[in-house]
Amino acid sequence: MESLKRETKINFYLLATLMVTTPFTLFFTLPIAILLIINLIVHWNWKERKARISQNRLSSFFIVFISFYLIYLIGMLYTSNLKCGLSNLENKLWFLLAPMLLFSMDPQLFSKKIRQRLVLIFVFSTLAMALFNIIYSFIEYLQYRNPFLFFYEQATHIPISLYEFKTGAPSWRNMHPTYLSMYVTFALVASLYYLYFSATPIRRWKRIVLIFGIGILFVYNYLLQSKAGIIILFFVILIAALYLINRIKIQILKSISFVLLLGGFVFLVMHYGSESMNRMAEAMKDLSNERTEEQLRSPIGSTSQRLVAWKIAFQQSVKHLPLGTGTGDAIDVMVEAYKEQGYKNLYDDRLNPHNQYLQTLLTVGIVGFGILILYFGYPFYHAFKRKKPLLLAFILIITLNLMTESMFETGSGANFIAFFMCLLTYDSFVAEEE
């Protein structure tokens, strides 16, 4: 028992460190994963772990979650680009580690209070990241007097990794606004959950921070100008607000008024915002403009580029059915298709499908696509059936984000999604809590 307590304590501190650092940088993710693996090996109790997964009634979730990593491992058998394939497996390491680690936790030691603490640490860290970036942008604004310094890529100032440009020269890269927007949206939703929906009480000072943080996170999410992030945030807020309005008694007039108010605000933002600081308006203009054949072959706007990438990805997915290209070959296949069809700028940028569903279908075929749907669909069904709002909201946020980004292909997306899917699934369905 003492060994189990020591192992759980070490795991908690490592996971707490992960929660603190995730919104800021990727540098600690792999070292933390390695230390967790070492902790698993040192406390060599695999039979007990297997028994706890069964006792926790999480066996079916464990099989589904592990299968997603295993299908990519199988995809290595028929890939030609082994280097890219190994990098792909490294990016997805948490899809293997998180279920092995979390689902075998003892619920008496890894209690609901501990799990809540991990989520709140992430929320507070995300709030700190948002405040840092807003303050940094404000300092730059005082120097250059350019309001654009608050928006989109100028709203992120913390380097997360080194990136090699086409010249081969390494450079610091900040986290993409879309991924930060996903973090911020979940942090905002988690704040609402612990304030208004959770049966587990939280301390007064935490409630004050969460109430203050909701406004900061909402503003920062808009400054990030992620089109998907803004739409998803408003969609989630709409659902949460309608639930709160009608929780005790159905109030049709208030519900309609709120929908009209929110809809009017969204309409004004989309149609009358400045294009230089409003990417929603820019996207609508990009889609509505008539383009020459040459412009169609060299799409510049991110929205028009995505439309081309989706078309190519679907074509190549059908071409490589039923197994897909293999774990490491998807980008090479996309790039070759760009070249053949004359999309020079997309070829130069080696643009991925920007849609995780198409990316998975292209990479590991029909079976992999089916496992991806099951990965989210199976816990969503049970969460809806048992009324687990935080897990439902998280799955909704992620599945919508996956429509416009290949989020499992980067550490920023894969680590976050894999960990919280397992943590929130454990929190929702562990037998001890039932």
- Neighbour count for residue 255 (Cβ, 10 Å): 14
CA distances from 335 to 84, 131, 352, 354 (A): 14, 39, 8, 13
CA atoms within 13 A on the CB side of 284: 11
pLDDT score recorded for residue 288: 55
Nearest to 212 by CA among 187, 233, 230: 187
What's the CA gap between 111 and 105, in Å, rounded?
Answer: 9
What's the CA gap between 174 and 285, in Å, rounded?
Answer: 27
| Contacts (Cβ under 8 Å, ≥6 apart) of 330 | 324, 352, 353, 359, 362, 363
- DSSP code at position 274: -
How buried is 41 (Cβ within 10 angstroms: 0-12 exposed, 13-18 middle, 19+ buried)? exposed
pLDDT score recorded for residue 255: 86
What's the CA gap between 287 and 157, in Å, rounded?
Answer: 30
Residue with tokens 């120097």: 143
List, as one string, the DSSP characters of 357-420: HHHHHHHHHHHHHHHHHHHHHHHHHHHHHHT-HHHHHHHHHHHHHTTT--GGGSHHHHHHHHHH
What's the CA gap between 349 and 346, in Å, rounded?
Answer: 5
pLDDT score recorded for residue 323: 94
CA distances from 273 to 115, 118, 154, 284, 302 (A): 41, 38, 18, 11, 18
Q: What angle do CA 204, 208, 213 make, to 5 degrees?
A: 145
pLDDT score recorded for residue 228: 80
**pTM assigned to the model:** 0.90
| Contacts (Cβ under 8 Å, ≥6 apart) of 279 | 152, 225, 226, 227, 302
Angle at which helices 389-401 and 411-429 pack, to 10 degrees? 160
- Cα torsion angle, 4, 10, 12, 14, sign: negative
Instruction: Give the mean pLDDT per block of 10 residues along the chain (434 residues).
Output: 84 96 90 92 83 92 97 96 94 95 92 94 97 94 87 83 54 81 95 88 92 93 84 82 81 85 74 56 56 56 84 95 94 93 87 95 97 97 93 95 93 94 95 57
pLDDT score recorded for residue 90: 92
Give the tokens for residue 301.
């706007």
Residue with tokens 């090479």: 332
What's the CA gap between 280 and 269, in Å, rounded?
Answer: 8
Give the tokens for residue 74.
């199988």
CA distances from 47 to 55, 268, 424 (A): 12, 59, 24
Q: Encode pLDDT of 16-26 as tens digits.
A: 999 999 999 88
Q: Encode pLDDT of 247-297 as tens digits.
A: 778 888 888 888 888 778 777 766 655 555 565 555 555 555 555 555 556
List, as one string, the DSSP characters of 230-249: HHHHHHHHHHHHHHHHTSSS
| Contacts (Cβ under 8 Å, ≥6 apart) of 382 | 388, 428, 429
pLDDT score recorded for residue 347: 87
Sorted by where each begins, the domain ranges of the chain are 2-429
pLDDT score recorded for residue 42: 86
